[in-house]
Amino acid sequence: MPLSQTLITPELALAFDINAAGAANAAYSHPAPPLSSDFESSASAAAGSGGADEPARTLKRPRLVWTPQLHKRFVDAVAHLGIKNAVPKTIMQLMSVDGLTRENVASHLQKYRLYLKRMQGLGTSGGGPISAADAATDQLFASAPVPHQFLSRGPAAGPEPFLPYVQTAPLQHPQQITAAMQQQQQQYYHQRHLGHFGSSTGGFDHGFLNRGMPQPAMHQMVGPPPGTGFLQLTPPPAALSVDDLEPARREDGGERKVLTLFPDR
DNA sequence: AATCAAATAT
DNA sequence: GATATTTGAT
């Protein structure tokens, strides 16, 4: 283990960084220019200088939360790349979410592939039982439509014609965005609570059957359950930086503190 | 160097 | 339980 790192604990360094970003956070509302220089985008600089004081590599970034919005971006990216080119690096680049790392994508991609594989198997025949563990992890994946090409057996399709967000779409009003996001959030939590497949005979209630079906507004179940903390990376109309969000705090005990972009309620 | 899938860790 | 990290192979 590198002795050079032991002088400053990750917590200390992290706290330091929070303070540095604090001023910017105060003015949350205006579109924060990508502060991304701190993290992995500075890899080249770090390599060049060879200095030991590069925080980017030393610092633990907060654990990424794959919101339905973010996942949708992921799926779109994969779809547009075509299965051939859909590898972590390119996916990450296409998504153009600031602060998103290749490893974030790789990890997610691995899970997503397992999900797709399971789906194909279940297509025609009765299909074997899905493990409880698998079913539990499908929540997120069910939130975004699965492009048809993913389920086909034939040779991989090429990149799709239209490109969605390489160029930033014209901005909507912040209020509208917030509202839309909240709706999706509600839906997400709705699924979390009522989720699982209750169906007994025959019909599965897989998420992709929900394609385009607007859920009637339910009771007002809002906001994350208190106590469950997470950091949300928002997949932005324009690239947003993770740095814009207050990093989740990790303590030695493993306790995590929360932070969400959305107003609590 | 990237990627992948499986196992394992947090 | 969800995500990260490690591992070993290509």
Q: Which nucleotide is nearest to A89 (CA to C1')?
A: B2
pLDDT value at residue A18: 39
- Distance between CA atoms of residues A25 and A200, nearest Å: 50
pLDDT value at residue A234: 57
The backbone torsions φ and ψ at residue A116, rounded to the nearest 5 degrees and listed phi first, read -65, -40
Cross-strand pairs, A231: A259
Please enumerate in sequence order all residues whose Cβ is within 8 A of that of A138, keeping only pairs 6 or more positions apart, or say none.
A115, A207
The answer to whether the CB of A240 falls within 8 A of the CB of A96 is no
Per-residue pLDDT of chain A (265 residues; tens, 9 = 90+): 443 334 444 444 444 443 333 333 333 333 333 433 344 444 344 444 444 555 666 677 889 999 998 999 999 999 999 888 999 999 999 999 989 999 999 999 999 999 998 887 766 666 666 676 677 678 889 989 898 888 766 556 666 554 444 433 332 333 333 333 433 443 333 444 333 433 333 333 443 333 333 434 434 444 444 444 455 655 555 443 444 333 343 344 444 433 333 333 3
Instruction: Calculate the angstrom distance between C1' of C1 and CA of A137.
Output: 8
**Which of A35, A37, A112, A102 lies closest to A71, judged by CA?**
A112
Q: Is the CB of A104 under 7 A from strand C?
A: yes
Instruction: Calculate the angstrom distance between C1' of C2 and CA of A144.
Output: 17
pLDDT value at residue A32: 33
The answer to whether the CB of A153 falls within 8 A of the CB of A121 is no
pLDDT value at residue A135: 73
- Distance between CA atoms of residues A29 and A173, nearest Å: 12
Tell which strand C nucleotides have any atom below 7 Å from a protein Cβ: 1-6
Residues in contact with strand B, defined as Cβ under 7 Å from any of its atoms: A 86-90, 102, 106, 109-110, 113-114, 254
Instruction: Calculate the angstrom distance between C1' of C10 and CA of A159.
Output: 25
The answer to whether the CB of A138 falls within 8 A of the CB of A68 is no
pLDDT value at residue A61: 81
The answer to whether the CB of A233 falls within 8 A of the CB of A248 is no
The backbone torsions φ and ψ at residue A250, rounded to the nearest 5 degrees and listed phi first, read -115, 130
Q: Determine the protein residue whose CA lies at the shortest distance from the C1' of B6.
A: A110
Only one residue has tokens 């991989």, namely A156
The answer to whether the CB of A92 falls within 8 A of the CB of A101 is yes
Q: Which nucleotide is nearest to A117 (CA to C1')?
A: B5
Determine how many CB atoms are found less than 10 A away from the CB of residue A239: 18
Instruction: Calculate the angstrom distance between C1' of B1 and CA of A187.
Output: 41
Q: Which two tokens stand for residue A157?
A: 């399709």
Q: Which nucleotide is nearest to A254 (CA to C1')?
A: B10
pLDDT value at residue A231: 55
- Distance between CA atoms of residues A159 and A71, nearest Å: 19
The alpha helices in chain A, defined as continuous H runs, are: 10-26, 43-49, 55-58, 68-85, 88-95, 102-121, 132-141, 148-151, 174-194
Q: Which two tokens stand for residue A43?
A: 């890899």
Q: Determine the protein residue whose CA lies at the shortest distance from the C1' of B4.
A: A110
Q: Which pTM value belongs to this model?
A: 0.56
